[in-house]
Amino acid sequence: MHSATLRNWFLALPLTVVLALFLLLPMVMIFVVSFWGATEFSIYPAFQFDNYGYLFGSSVVLRVFGNTFLYTAATWAATLAIGFTVAYFLAFHVRNATVQTGLFLLCTIPFWTSNIIRMISWVPFLGRNGLANQALMGMGITEQPVEWLLFSDFSVILAFVHLYTLFMVVPIFNTMVRIDRSLIEAARDNGASGLQILTNIIIPLTKPGIMIGSIFVVALVMGDFITVRFMSGSQSANVGRLISNDIGLLQYPSAAATSVVLLVTVLIVISVMLRFVDIRKEL
């Protein structure tokens, strides 16, 4: 038994070393640097709370965090609605396995190009003279181009939904295809309506997939910075953009402090999600 335990530890050693060097050590370094001081031209080791005091005492930073939560909540709600609908259609309305696989692969086509290209592709569509405005004016819905379609919170959320919906579709679909169809048939035989089957069988059994997809979407949106920069026309910001700006100005302690607060925030949000379901059964 003792030799088996030593062998297990020995087998886990390489992964432990990799995680310690490339995950834990950088996080510890960021945490330490977050207490350092900085001048206009240099940074210096110290133990002070000035960076955190600025974060929690600045109305601008608090507004940026508010924008981040707004983008995250709106993107999560939209991707959940779209992802659940797409996964439900593929899992329960497409009977042929080949067609099901083909349609699922069709959903991955946007991922064959980079995020930047997919993001920028919205600019000519949503612009003042873009296809969306031309269609609206052509149908008589509006007489002038709609200004808020591009370089606004709407365009930022739209780009996020476009970029990250697949991260919601995949785990939900993977969970739905595992649902025992006999449960649904039994519910129908006992007179359950479609809504009752959805709310009492499908959604509860799909919770692990919903939580996994939600974790992906929340973590990606809260850490993103390039999408907000491009799609808002630099008129808005989120926490990722704040960190990027601090790094560009060589204010590494401030960027580290913001990163720590963001990491803690994401972990709290994920912890709250995990209270609702045990995703270890899904993994």
In the prediction, which pLDDT does 181 show?
Answer: 87
Q: What does DSSP assign to residue 151?
A: S
In a domain, 190, yes or no: yes
Rounded Cα gap, residues 239 and 63, in angstroms: 10
Range list of β-strands (E), 29-133:
37-38, 43-44
CB 26 within 8 A of CB 32: no
What is the per-residue pLDDT across 104-144, written as a single tens digit (0 to 9) for each?
888 888 777 888 888 888 888 888 888 888 888 888 888 88
User: Per-residue pLDDT for 36 more than 90?
Assistant: yes
Long-range (24+ apart) CB contacts under 8 A made by 121-128 are 122/150, 122/155, 122/158, 122/159, 122/162, 122/231, 123/150, 126/150, 126/155, 126/158
Rounded to whole angstroms, what are the CA distances from 278 to 176, 212, 258, 269, 274? 16, 10, 30, 15, 6
User: Per-residue pLDDT for 283 more than 60?
Assistant: no
SS3 call for 64? helix
What is the per-residue pLDDT across 148-181, written as a single tens digit (0 to 9) for each?
888 889 999 999 999 999 999 999 999 998 888 8
In a domain, 228, yes or no: yes
In the prediction, which pLDDT does 133 show?
Answer: 87
In a domain, 20, yes or no: no
In a domain, 46, yes or no: no
In a domain, 76, yes or no: yes
Task: Out of 5-19, 47-61, 80-94, pick the least confident.
Answer: 5-19
**Phi and psi dihedrals of 178, rounded to 5?**
-90, -10
Which pLDDT band, with edges at 50, 70 and 90, does 2 fall under?
low
Which pLDDT band, with edges at 50, 70 and 90, does 264 fall under?
very high
Rounded to whole angstroms, what are the CA distances from 228 to 129, 216, 238, 241? 22, 18, 7, 7
In a domain, 36, yes or no: no
CB 107 within 8 A of CB 86: yes
User: Per-residue pLDDT for 282 more than 70?
Assistant: no
Rounded Cα gap, residues 66 and 69, in angstroms: 5
SS3 call for 58? coil
In the prediction, which pLDDT does 190 show?
Answer: 87
| Greatest CA separation for the chain | 80
> Which position has the higher pLDDT, 255 or 42?
255
CB 159 within 8 A of CB 122: yes
CB 156 within 8 A of CB 237: no
CB 95 within 8 A of CB 89: no
Where in the sequence is the domain holding 69, given as residue range(s)? Answer: 57-281
Rounded Cα gap, residues 94 and 206, in angstroms: 18
State percent of the chain over pLDDT 90.
42
**Phi and psi dihedrals of 273, rounded to 5?**
-60, -40
User: Per-residue pLDDT for 273 more than 70?
Assistant: yes
Please give the full DSSP string across 156-209, using - where no structure is assigned.
HHHHHHHHHTHHHHHHHHHHHTTS-HHHHHHHHHTT--HHHHIIIIIHHHHHHH
User: Across all residues in the chain, what is the average pLDDT?
Assistant: 88
Which pLDDT band, with edges at 50, 70 and 90, does 279 fall under?
low
Rounded Cα gap, residues 14 and 21, in angstroms: 11
CB 92 within 8 A of CB 174: no
Q: Residue 121: which CATH number? A: 1.10.3720.10
In a domain, 32, yes or no: no
- The 10 Å CB-count burial string (b at 16+, else e) for 163-200 is bbbbbbbbbbbbbbeeeeeeebeebeeeebeeeebbee
In a domain, 143, yes or no: yes
In the prediction, which pLDDT does 103 show?
Answer: 86
Region 24-53: what's the mean pLDDT?
Answer: 90
What is the per-residue pLDDT across 64-76, written as a single tens digit (0 to 9) for each?
999 999 999 999 9
Number of domains in the chain: 1
